[in-house]
Amino acid sequence: MGLSSKDPYCALVLGGSFDPVHTGHIALAKHLCDVLKPDELRIIPAGQPWQKSALTATSEQRVSMLKLAFEDWPDCKLIIDAQEIRRAEAHVASYTIETLRELRTELGAQASICFAMGADQLLNLHTWHQWKDLFSVAHLCAASRPGFDINLACPEVTKEWQKRMISPQEMRASAAGGTYLDSSLAVDVSATQLRKELKQHNPTIRLLVTHKVLDYIQQHSIYQNNGY
């Protein structure tokens, strides 16, 4: 793509539970790094997500696994940002809008902030706290994910999304407010499936997680007794 020297600093942001981080997360980040060529990839593990039941791995374990999965990230600077974990530890509810506002304060008004999500999150977007305000702080990028049909997004989200669609070049060159949909990703893995297969000692887990993360999970006996 035509990256211009005038383009502002760009952060590609990936939030999630990462319980545990898997090859779907890595593929999503890699793919969007190839498209957007950001200056940083910022991974923001959730504290205690309000839309999900309790996580299995501790925050410390999830951060350790993220460090192993993304170590020596070749594309750009890698930051694992624990702001949501810190808020949860202080018993403060954490919403993506607040996280992105904090990031905007840190990176300044000009920076291009691109928040990445899989198709499952796009289908949920209308339930997010102050979801329409997200566009005033960041761009939103969604990638396809097997099992989730983006055509089934809430009509209000679809309308908002379509009127804001821009190219990756435009997204890279501006601060916020655009949407980009990438339909080429097709990595059929989820943390739920992975937790299940880890509990069952299914050998296919080797395809779903990096070997360092798998070693870590086994050394710390993390997903032996989880309810998936």
Point out which residues bind ligand ATP (CB under 6 A).
16-19, 24-25, 28, 117-118, 120-121, 143, 145, 185, 187, 189-192
Pairing of strands 139-143, 112-118: parallel
Q: CB-wise, 18 or 180, nearer to ligand ATP?
A: 18
Residue 8 Cβ vs ligand ATP, minimum distance, rounded to whole Å: 24
Q: Which is nearer to ligand ATP, 8 or 226 (CB)?
A: 226
Q: Least Å distance between CB 10 and ligand ATP?
A: 18
**Please, which residues bridge with residue 69 across strands?**
none
CB 139, CB 106: distance < 8 Å:
no
Residue 68 or 173: the one with the smaller Cβ distance to ligand ATP is 68
To ligand ATP, the closest distance from the beta carbon of 20 in angstroms equals 9
Shortest distance (Å) from residue 28 CB to ligand ATP:
4
Decide whether 136 or 190 has the Cβ nearer to ligand ATP: 190
Shortest Å distance, C-beta 109 to ligand ATP: 25
